[in-house]
Amino acid sequence: MPESLFVTGGTGMIGRDMIARILRESDAEVCVLIHRRCRGASSADLARALLGAPAAREQDRRLRLVAGDVTAPDLGLSADEYRRTCATASGILHAAATTRFDLPLEEARRVNVAGTANVLALAKGCGRLERFGFVSTAYVAGRRTGTILESEREHGEGFVNSYEQSKYEAEALIEDSLNGVPAAVYRLSTVLGDSRTGRVAHPTAPHHALRMMHLGLASMLPGAPENTVDLIPGDGAACALYRLFTDHFQAGQVLHLTAPEAGSYTLAEIVEQSYRFLAEADPAWGARRYPAPVITSPDTFELFVRSAEQANNPLMRGAMKTLRHFAHQLAYPKRFDRSRLLACLPRYDEDMPDVRSYYAKVVASCVGSGWRRHA
Amino acid sequence: MPVKVSASPARPSRRFSDSGPSVGITGLAYRLPRRRLSLEQLEAGGSIASPAAVLRDFGFAHCHVHEEDAPFDDALIESGREALERAALPRDDVGLLLRISGLAEYAPPARPDTPLDLFRYPAARAHHELGLTRARALALSQQGCSGLLSAIDLAAASLRASDEPSALCLAGDALPRGACREIMYNVMSDAGAAVLLQRGATRNTLVSFHQQTRSWYWDTPAREQEILAAYFPVAQRVITAALEKAGLRMADVAWFVPHNVSLRSWQILARLLRLPEEKVWTRNIARVGHTVSCDHVINLTDMESEGALRPGDYMVLFTFGLGASWSCMVLRH
């Protein structure tokens, strides 16, 4: 009997690549929970979007969409659909999340914590369930600095934004469910875009920061010039995640899918390269000669943000708000230990594209699309 | 290996000791209009855009407004007279008179009675009123608050390249009557000031000057937000460059002589530069507020009269002019 997978977040940065891989590389049947507001979409539409047109008929046939909402009881599914999923799902990949960094904590919790609780409730009702994959973030480490082990979660250092905290709390729910749910946690680094095309399916904080630079509104960033900025490409992340979930799954596993050793820009480098690649992608922009932001202490950055807020300047306040919710993470240098990951995927570092090889494409894609979300 | 984003464009940058005889500032004077308004008065009169409480938190308290019937340029001429007298300099020794305005242009009469009304020059009037005999008189404008430092740099270069002993710079602006007194979160005063430069002087000698003009920002109303964002990164780089030209480290500097923009912005800039805030002479921000082109003269004059300066002290004069130019001059007292 072929495997039957239930996937949330299937239209997000990682979920869409994962579904494409599952359809291409296995004979599994995939049921994707799409948000109610996308109710009109068909599986053929999604298959075409993921696999290119025309999707193979057989792959199309194995893909099924159900409309729902992770924040709703029973995921917003009909009783029949819920029962059917419980009866058939042998694997669940929970990738749905809000990745906005600027949400109030309660709002982030509603999607990322309560949503995870709802998916776990479904998992507990799945009689055939063999694997439950939870897509998390390496930044559940919050304001910690230094080496972060895959085995560690609990800490008291606090968080830079509500996204980090809500994912941290969601991981706690996963831990608490391990007796009844065979779950693994995949902590991804910041996903930048596709390494082959530069395509950004879903612009997130780093892309918004890049946009502030493009608008000439980036004044300063907190951190130290030599701090590294951990970034991974969406396709590389999905490839590793697929292999971990299908070939190396182990309940209780927590893995860091972060940048390879020496595969990261420093903060100073990424600022410099951002301005270089923006100028290449948009020569008229280059002629404006916007200055690159100053890299400064978190205190100074915060004083500047507070002043912009006090001045009630809407544009500057908005720009700084955009930067504020993720930029402070740059001031907490950390190294993500990947011993367990490398034990599963010894070639991970060779297979994961170095940011230096694709950052220009991502910048060009952002400029080309006007930072719009790709369908 | 990271690649540089873009080559640095050519920009005025000098270390003066390598380029001829020393030039120093031997006379300073300024005049503020008598009418002084508090933030509350400005707020009540609708003359500021931000709440008075915010501007107070940013370090402002008062501003001076020219409302007298007498021509505003009288303030500059009186300052020039005082500067010449302080230096006890014969009028014949002045070879150059520069009249500096930070505004886009002198407003011509709205309805000139004759075309000749368009040719009534304040620079020539000052020349006459001060009794100058040999000086060339001309005006410089369109550099906003950077204008005076640029004029000092140009005057110094002129003195070094000639045998003229001195040059007089007269700077000042009055905003139009009824104008908003807040520009980009700064409270603006009217003022006139004079700077006398002498070749061979040993006091307040010019050590280095560095300026960056970024003309993308020329359309100030359209680029206001981008200018606010660019201010700190470029300020940090221009000050660092001026110090490098002077062969100085931050620790060698006795005083930062600011343009009197908000105290808050100086607190931020000081942190970016790792500069102790007490090295920035900020007391005139509350007393006077920001003037278009006279802040450095006002501050230097007060610093001298209060005995804050010791011989040999290095001073860093920084300013930003809409338009946009970031300027930094290093002086040795």
| pLDDT of amino acid B5 | 38
Give the whole-angstrom CA distance, residue A329 versus residue A141.
10
Lowest mean pLDDT segment, chosen from A315-319, B126-130, B172-176: A315-319
Distance of alpha carbon A46 from alpha carbon A40, whole angstroms: 11
Query: Between the CA of residue B23 and those of B158, B188, B193, B328, what are the distances in Å?
Result: 10, 31, 19, 17
B 110-129 → A contacts, CB under 8 A: none
Q: How many Cβ atoms sit within 10 Å of the Cβ of residue A53?
A: 8
Average pLDDT over chain B reads 92
Question: What does the pLDDT profile of chain A (375 residues) look like in tens digits?
Answer: 578 999 999 888 889 889 989 998 999 999 999 887 666 666 666 666 666 655 566 667 789 999 999 999 999 999 999 999 999 999 999 999 998 888 999 999 999 999 999 999 999 999 999 999 999 999 999 999 999 999 999 999 999 999 999 999 999 999 999 999 999 999 999 999 999 999 998 888 889 899 999 999 999 998 899 999 999 999 999 999 999 999 999 999 999 999 998 889 999 999 999 999 999 999 999 999 999 999 999 899 999 989 988 888 877 777 777 777 777 888 899 999 999 999 999 999 999 999 999 999 999 999 999 987 655
Q: What is the pLDDT of residue B103?
A: 87
In this prediction, residues B249-257 reach a mean pLDDT of 97
CB contact under 8 A, B3 and A218: no
Count the neighbouring beta carbons within 10 Å of the beta carbon of residue B178.
11
**A276: nearest CB among B3, B185, B226:** B3
Give the Cα separation of B222 and B328 in Å (integer).
26
pLDDT at A214: 96
Between the CA of residue A63 and those of A27, A43, A133, A375, B75, what are the distances in Å?
Answer: 11, 6, 19, 18, 82
Q: Show the tokens assigned to B116.
A: 């000749």
Q: A319 to chain B nearest CA, in Å?
A: 10
DSSP B78-92: HHHHHHHHHHT--GG
From B185, B226, B268, residue closest to A216, measured CB to CB: B226
pLDDT at A327: 78
The per-residue pLDDT for B3 is 37
Q: Do A290 and B236 touch (CB under 8 A)?
A: no
Shortest Cα distance, chain B CAs vs residue A103, angstroms: 24
Cβ contact (<8 Å) for A291 and B233?
A: yes
Predicted confidence at residue A261, as pLDDT, reads: 85
Q: What is the pLDDT of residue B116?
A: 84
In this structure, what token pair is assigned to residue B206? 């010019």
pLDDT tens digits, one per residue of B3-28: 333 444 445 676 765 557 899 999 99
What phi and psi, each to the nearest 5 degrees, are found at residue A165? -65, -40
Q: Measuring CA to CA, how many Å separate A112 from each of A118, A172, A300, B293? A: 10, 12, 32, 55
Contact B34, B192 (CB under 8 A): no
Would you place residue B102 in the very low, low, confident or very high pLDDT band (cuts 50, 70, 90)?
Answer: very high
Distance from the B326 Cα atom to the nearest Cα atom in chain A, whole angstroms: 12
Closest-CA distance, B282 to chain A, in angstroms, reads 18
Higher-pLDDT residue of B315 and B71 is B315
Q: Report the half-sphere exposure of A274 (CA within 13 A, side-chain side).
A: 26
pLDDT tens digits along B196-221: 999 999 999 999 999 999 999 999 99
pLDDT score for A35: 83
A310 with B57: Cβ contact below 8 A:
yes
Helix, strand, or coil (residue B245): helix
What is the b/e burial string over A8-17, where b = at least 16 CB atoms within 10 angstroms of the residue's CB?
A: bbbbbbbbbb
Candidates A214, A277, A288: best to mutate against B (most CBs of B within 10 A) is A288
Share of chain B above pLDDT 90, in %: 86
Could you tell me the two tokens for B24? 């120093």
Six token digits for residue B251: 């620790």
DSSP helix/strand/coil, B68: coil
Residue B261's closest CA among B190, B191, B195, B318?
Answer: B318
Evaluate if residue B125 carries a pLDDT over 50.
yes
Verify whether the Cβ–Cβ distance B272 to A220 is below 8 Å: yes
The nearest alpha carbon in chain A to B2 belongs to A269
Rounded Cα–Cα distance for residues A244 and A184 (Å):
9
**A185's tokens:** 């946690």
* Alpha carbon distance B234, B144 (integer Å): 16
B40 touches chain A (CB under 8 A): no
Instruction: Select from A302, A307, A356, A359 the residue whose CB has the most chain B CBs within 10 Å, as the one to mutate to test that interface.
Output: A307
Q: Is B233 on the interface with A (CB under 8 A)?
A: yes
- Cα–Cα dist B271/A297, whole Å: 8
Nearest CA in chain A to B232: A219
Chain B residues within 8 A of A229 when measuring between CB atoms:
none
B232/A316 CB distance under 8 A: no
Residues making up chain A, counted from first to last = 375
Q: Which range among A197-211, B1-15, B81-95, B96-110 shows the weakest confidence by mean pLDDT? A: B1-15
For residue B5, list chain A residues with Cβ-Cβ distance below 8 A. 272, 275-276, 279, 292
Q: Are A75 and A114 in contact (CB under 8 A)?
A: no
Q: Does B53 touch chain A (CB under 8 A)?
A: no
Predicted pLDDT of residue B119? 86
CA distances from A91 to A88, A239, A319 (A): 9, 17, 41
Taking only the tens place, the pLDDT of each residue in B133-147 is 999 999 999 999 999
The confidence score (pLDDT) of residue B1 equals: 37
Q: Is A62 in contact with A88 (CB distance < 8 Å)? A: no
